Each structure stands twice: as structure tokens, then as C-alpha cells.
Amino acid sequence: MAFALGWRGYPGKAVRLGRRGCADCGCISARGWALTVYCRPFDWQRSSSARRHLARWREVRRRDSTMVAAERQSATGGAPTTTLHVVVNPMAGNGRAGRRWPEYAKHLRAAGYDFKAYLTTGAGEATDIARRLARHDVPILVCVGGDGTMNEVVNGLIDADRPVSEHTRLLVIPCGTGHDLSRSLGVRSVEDAIRALRDDCVATIDVGRISYLDTQTGQLTSRYFANVADAGLGGATALRINRTSKRFGGLVSYMSSAVRSVASFEPVTVDVTADGETVFDGRANMVVFANGAHFAGGMRVAPMASLCDGRLEVFVLEDVGRRALITDIMPRVYRGSHVGRPGVRHLSATRATVRCDEGMLIEMDGEQIGQTPIEVVVVPRALRVFGLPETLQLFGGCTDPSQ
């Protein structure tokens, strides 16, 4: 007994169809989708219904292919399209990236771009894919995911404080929990990303290199970060948030996890040095190293930060008490008005260290990776990224000199 799906009402389980249409022939209905099940042997040659559906499907496919070709030629002005290499983490943002990727793919095709997609299946795979593509000098690498996915891709593009390829440029399409680097670049949506591609606006930005104790291996190791790294309360919060659902978005997820972390976190006595000088020795909740302005889903931790000034903004959040931390400091960090408040120390540096008797958890671009002791060094102009021109102009001198 063969089952064939046709057009009208289907009283049982709902079935969602894509652009291929019904199971008979892929027929596409402009009126929407409705299904019928035929519980009888199905003969394509003798079924007049199947022949009609097949003829209609062929006509729709011909018309659609003509329309797509026209849209691509119009979008690109008749110029050849550039092949994009897209790294997609379908699990980013509690599965949001996987659900939205088909829609993003349609936007890219409609804008005239051909692409090859690489879907990751586990931690570290995005780094391997990015490294392999960079060694082949692909011109444009696109990252679809959150800050954690972006961080993996960045670590694939940089090796020994140098770009793996001088020709590969990175475009981040935000689709995770935080997407804080994208905020600093002005790319908030897939439409912004396509505009950045069309304008060919590229900046060469700094990254940070952090050396830390890997708690899994017990060895000192190092990684690169493009946005923010911190030790203390931020690391404890990242550990908590990555163990829970992120369905409510970056800021809400971070704030709820941060409040719960504050309730159990005890300040630690730390020694902080910047460019060889001790700048703080006492009890602190958190030490932040910011290359970008935002972290934790939109909090403006370093409103003065520039992605290409060759320096990191260092913040030390002293032991101010739980009540002041929750009611005063944390709300101000979201607005960027915490700078200069009692208990908040700020300075700029090219190299900094944090040491303490008790291990402080650290996070980097939203991922909890290890613990202190740590050393952070800025690596100037190590990464080429796409952004919107009006945003990159705010940094001053950040635009790619090759343009």
C-alpha cells in the first residue's frame, strides 16, 4: 500500500512543507498549504491529478528560477556574485540560529550571494572549519551564531598573534544570546549584514590574548578574544547561564543569572597589574578587560572602548556589598554610567595580569573557559571584520586602509 500526499484538507497530524511542495510532485500553492492523504496504490502514469500537479510544478519552478535570477542580477548590478563561506552553529541562542538560518539563507540568495554553509555539531568545530578555510584564503567568512561561535571562528583566523590569511574577512550575523561584538560593529540583523557586504566596509580591529589555567587539563593555555574577557563574578555568571536555558535573550538571561550568582559569590583578594605596575591589591568582585564596548547581552561595560586603539579598558569592581552591587552598580553598567562610581576603578593598558590565592573563574566572549592566574595582552590590528560605516567611523582610524 502506497501513500501519496495531495492538496486538500488533512484531518490528522499537521505537516509543514517547504518550498518543494507536496509529496506527489512538489506542487506549490499560492493559497497556502493543505494536505490530503490517499490510501491506495499510486500510479503516476494513470493519475490525471498527478500529471496536472507535475505540469504545474514544472511551470512554477521555471517561473521561480527566472525570478531569482532577475533578482540576483538586479541586486548585484549584473556583476558576478561572491561566494560566501558560512559557519553556522545551529545550537546558538538555545537553537535560535538553527531555526533562523533558512530565512537568512533566503536573504543572502535574494541579495545575489552564493554561499557554502558549514553546520557545526560540537564545541571547537567552528575553529577547525575557520582555520581550514583561512588557509585556503577564502575572501569572506560568515559566522551565524552568538559570541561563543564568533570566538571559536576568531581563534581559527588568528595564530601566533598573526592572521592565518591576510585576505580573509569576517562577517558576523548575530543569532545567539549576546551578540555583543556585533553591537559594536553596528550589525544588528541580517539586513545590516547584507548592507555591510554591499558597502564593502571593513575594519581591521585589535583582539586580546588571554593566558589562563585550563581547569580540565591543569595546564596553562591561551586563547584570543575579540570583545571582552573578565574574571570573578562574570565567570561565575557565564558558567551558570551556559547551564540554563537562554530562550529569553541575552540581557534577561544574564541579569537573572547574575543576580543569582551575586547571592552566592564571595569577593576574592586579588593583585591586579597593568603595564608592569600594581594598580589594585584588595578584595574585588570582578576584573574586566574590554576591547569592545558591550558585554552580557547589551550592558555598556566600557562605553569609551575602541576596537582599534591598541589598548584594553580595564575595570576593577571592588567589594561594595551585595545590595549596592544589585541596586546601584549593575543597573548603571547597562547604561554605561558606572564609570567613576565609588568602588569602580578604570584604566587603559596594553598588558595586565590578575593573581589571587583563590581561583577566580574567567569568561571570554560569553564562554566560561578556566580560572586565574591570567595574563591579558592586546594584539593590535589582527582581525578584519565587516561593519556599518557610520559605526566604524566612531572608532576613528579603524577603517581598513586597503579600501
Q: Examine the domain organization and report whether 224 and 305 are in the same domain.
A: yes
Decide if pLDDT at 340 tops 90.
no
Asked if the structure places residue 78 within a domain, the reply is no
Asked if the structure places residue 398 within a domain, the reply is no
Cβ partners under 8 Å of residue 5, min gap 6: 15, 22, 23, 24, 35, 36, 37, 38
Q: Which residue has the higher pLDDT, 260 or 233?
A: 233
Q: Examine the domain organization and report whether 347 and 216 are in the same domain.
A: yes
- Burial bucket for residue 63 (CB in 10 Å: 0-12, 13-18, 19+): exposed
Last residue of a domain, one of 51, 73, 95: 73
Distance of CA 35 to the CA centre of its chain: 38
The pLDDT of residue 24 is 36
Find the length of the chain. Answer: 403
Asked if the structure places residue 400 within a domain, the reply is no
Q: Examine the domain organization and report whether 28 and 95 are in the same domain.
A: no
The pLDDT of residue 120 is 94
pLDDT digits (tens, 9 = 90+) for 135-167: 999 999 999 988 889 999 999 999 999 999 999
Q: Which residue has the higher pLDDT, 70 or 47?
A: 47
pLDDT digits (tens, 9 = 90+) for 283-329: 999 999 999 988 777 788 889 999 999 999 999 999 988 888 888 88
pTM of the entire structure?
0.76
pLDDT digits (tens, 9 = 90+) for 182-202: 888 989 899 999 999 999 999
Work out the pLDDT band at 231, boundaries 50, 70, 90: very high
**Residue 198 structural domain:** 83-206+385-392
The pLDDT of residue 180 is 82
Asked if the structure places residue 402 within a domain, the reply is no
Last residue of a domain, one of 21, 39, 73: 73
Q: To the nearest whole number, what is the mean pLDDT of the chain?
A: 79
Q: Examine the domain organization and report whether 229 and 366 are in the same domain.
A: yes
The pLDDT of residue 37 is 36
CATH number (domain holding residue 288): 2.60.200.40
Q: How many domains does the chain have?
A: 3
Q: Which residue has the higher pLDDT, 93 or 336?
A: 336
Q: Examine the domain organization and report whether 231 and 189 are in the same domain.
A: no
pLDDT digits (tens, 9 = 90+) for 9-66: 333 333 333 443 443 333 333 333 333 333 334 444 445 665 665 566 555 445 544 4
Q: Examine the domain organization and report whether 95 and 179 are in the same domain.
A: yes
